[in-house]
Amino acid sequence: MEEEKKNIILVSTKNYKTEGIKCTEGNRKIIFLNPKLKDQVYLETEIYKSIFGEDLGKKEFFLEAGSYGNIIEAYENTLITLLEKEHKVPEDYYDRLDEYRKVVYRNLFTLEDYVDNKHRFDEIHEILGDYYVLKMKYPLERIPYEFNLRYIRMKSLYDSGEQLYISSLLNYEELEF
């Protein structure tokens, strides 16, 4: 397990071979090829595997600016699937989110259920233009939230108007981050 964690794929708007690894800071994502948990890291890896198939990790890819919208679309589809299980805030409350969270959402549960099931740690977040009440207590409950952060990061790389470089398999320890 420890050996697999050392192997990564670098996704960046900069080519680390020609410009140096430090140049990728702020413009990169690190993809673990075989994550053990089925969490946001796993979901992100599956997106790249579904698009690049067997070549992922074996070959380098250079994608022209604006040509990797399919990756963004795959992130969005994954987010939509994750959000199907989450509680969506009705549009009537978009301008009164605090009221919805403290009064309406709270009243969906008995006091015992609210406390015992840890709903008191739930938070409202905007994802893909809508608001959702997300469970935030435990890491595996936070997958929609964490995956949304990864989507936002990838979308910012896409919106930067720069090309995308996807490395072959790299040894994490050999890179000087």
Higher pLDDT: 163 or 176? It is 163
Q: What tens digit of pLDDT does each residue of 71-112 get?
A: 999 999 999 999 999 999 999 999 999 999 888 888 888 877
pTM of the model: 0.88
pLDDT-above-70 percentage for the chain: 95
Average pLDDT over residues 143-168: 94
pLDDT at 177: 58
DSSP string, 59-109: B-EEE-TT--HHHHHHHHHHHHHHHTTSEEPPGGGTT-HHHIIIIIIGGGS
